[in-house]
Structure 1
């Protein structure tokens, strides 16, 4: 009965559904390659309205991503304005909240500012980054003699945010409030997406892996105008000059490109420009780790950021499984790629965090 109901939903004329529903969720493809990508209303996604599930799933299978639209009380332009002000602050102000790899006097290893252009000749990611997490306070102090090696990792995963202190109290307060609210919106989207995929694919246990998000992260990114060509930043795929090399994500990604072009995804063996997210919408895709958990039935899309002639801003949020989530087996019990080495997500994140210490994402 469920399969029949979904089939009828997909073939019924729009007049048999809510007004303009099909046009909104699954617009008719015109000349644009990605005109057919689903646009899912934020309220319907968060309210678990199951009629969106087949549209979301079909868009993910065909294109590797979809849009969440009509997000209330969200302003992309406000976020971008705050980002421009933050990244234009004097270096010594930003250095006060820099990660310890760049400022050894600081304790924060993952949350805070990361100037990514220190070595223009060799950098593989031409961007500056400010990273925000889900924690404002730290858990009880870790005991150094604790025999549980994951006790310290749990402690590290709860590293609290560090926020700019510029001397302008109004800016500092509004900056923090804006991005705390933005973090919650994106986290809500990520979790609601997992619930939708779980319903559509009949994987009821999938959401149980994401009830906590110890190391979810939101990165505020500035890709500045390039001052010098870096030969390492040309694509091996087609020779295009890039600001972010081709890659596949690991977990669930909720992306804001604002009105900034540059994002490209690999579609039918060709990199194509992705429409911007605009004022009150987001783009959602998944990475390799999550793709394996759902039996590789939805592609983890390969993407990159091409060179553009302006300062480009974006915000990327990542939702990963909870610390104790079993990532060794897919929803149907198949061994995952991660499962060849790890059992729980905490084991996987341990190596990932180590990589961040050497090369910050």
Structure 2
């Protein structure tokens, strides 16, 4: 008998049993399967088919993104999330003074790295809205020497290619393997995000869409740890339904590739109700788009609102964001309509300037 049939029989049985004490037990037992069935038609796409631009993936991705706002990429060859999780845990368990050598300059003024590196994020449990540690990785390992720029935009262009910083501990093997693991992980996710854009462009017949993402000066991958909260943060209750959260409700901006490492907690808004999203396993990702990209494609998909609820364990995830190229025109949609961003910005580089300012105050 199929899972669906079993659940149907169970539910019929529940309705037939008059004992009220029996109901909570059954619901508790089968609630994970019921929640999973709510997203049972979310597309599950083979990594190989996606990367090879197999047109058979386009319709399932389009339908899933219209209805739910996300889809899964599975069977990623030579990728093992458990290896990433091991190195993440080892990094976040390093002494604070070692990690502080990699802290962004907001947390360690002696450092020059503004966006790439370690972000403690737990300074004041009542003030922060982001109770997590982050290690942020970008696409650049080096950049040229600084030259005086003629405009604020040109200086920003230089700032956006900030080089990565990496652990430099007494364990040389760990340092080397950590760097190599996440350089490879970055490329996996960038490949997925760009292939998703190509699929969307084919499905919607927007052939120039991929050209907006040909460069990714400020793409970013964040290694995140949400520690067990030692006290309740009153700022972290949901305005939507009062639930205590680890990550507040939000909509992303660009293209997102997410790993949850079999951790529960992620919820997606569907039909005005937050529902548990099935987790990603050892070789899979979740993909969704944000508001900026949705506007560019004439709002023909869903930029899904999501959150992370409070869980009684230390939770890990990796979030990768693929943004348009610095000079990409974000003021008009693919059919020429003025986008929401277009009321203020012409190119992505102008938009990222204000976004980075918000990051410094809020995200980090």
Q: Whole-Å Cα distance in 2 between the matches of residues 296 and 142 of structure 1?
A: 40
Please name the residue that 2:144 is paired with.
139
Please name the residue that 1:296 is paired with.
299
Give 3-state SS (helix, strand or coil) of 1:246's partner: strand
Which of 88, 107, 111 is the equivalent residue of 1:106?
A: 111
Per-residue CA deviations over 1:181-224 (Å, capped at 9, x if unaligned) read 00000000000000000000000010110000000000000000
CA contact (8 A) 2:35 2:275 kept: no
The Cα of 1:359 is off from its aligned counterpart by 2.4
Which of 231, 234, 255 is the equivalent residue of 1:231?
A: 234
CA contact (8 A) 1:203 1:331 kept: yes
CA contact (8 A) 2:142 2:163 kept: yes
The Cα of 1:117 is off from its aligned counterpart by 0.6
Which of 126, 133, 156 is the equivalent residue of 2:131?
A: 126
Q: CA RMSD in A?
A: 1.1
CA contact (8 A) 1:39 1:67 kept: yes
Distance 1:31 1:290, change over 3 A: closer
Please name the residue that 2:339 is paired with.
336
Q: Whole-Å Cα distance in 2 between the matches of residues 162 and 44 of structure 1?
A: 34
The Cα of 1:103 is off from its aligned counterpart by 0.2
The Cα of 1:140 is off from its aligned counterpart by 3.9
2:76 matches 1:71: yes
Q: Whole-Å Cα distance in 2 between the matches of residues 88 and 44 of structure 1?
A: 37
Q: Whole-Å Cα distance in 1 between the matches of residues 111 and 170 of structure 2?
A: 19
Please name the residue that 1:259 is paired with.
262
**1:275-294 equivalent positions in 2, closer than 5 A:** 275-294=278-297
Please name the residue that 1:41 is paired with.
46
The Cα of 1:142 is off from its aligned counterpart by 2.7
Please name the residue that 2:58 is paired with.
53
Gaps of 5+ in 1: 1-28
Give 3-state SS (helix, strand or coil) of 1:83's partner: helix
User: Where in structure 1 do 4 or more consecutive aligned residues deviate above 6 Å?
Assistant: none
Give 3-state SS (helix, strand or coil) of 1:350's partner: helix
Give 3-state SS (helix, strand or coil) of 1:304's partner: strand
Please name the residue that 2:223 is paired with.
220
2:187 matches 1:184: yes
CA contact (8 A) 1:244 1:305 kept: yes
Q: Whole-Å Cα distance in 2 between the matches of residues 305 and 356 of structure 1?
A: 19
Q: Whole-Å Cα distance in 1 between the matches of residues 110 and 145 of structure 2?
A: 23
Gaps of 5+ in 2: 1-33
Q: Whole-Å Cα distance in 2 between the matches of residues 206 and 142 of structure 1?
A: 33
The Cα of 1:149 is off from its aligned counterpart by 1.8
**1:188-207 equivalent positions in 2, closer than 5 A:** 188-207=191-210
The Cα of 1:139 is off from its aligned counterpart by 2.9
Q: Whole-Å Cα distance in 1 between the matches of residues 221 and 340 of structure 2?
A: 25
The Cα of 1:147 is off from its aligned counterpart by 2.1
TM-score normalised over the length of structure 2: 0.90
Please name the residue that 2:19 is paired with.
none
Per-residue CA deviations over 1:157-177 (Å, capped at 9, x if unaligned) read 000000011110010000000
Please name the residue that 1:164 is paired with.
167
Which of 327, 330, 344 is the equivalent residue of 1:327?
A: 330
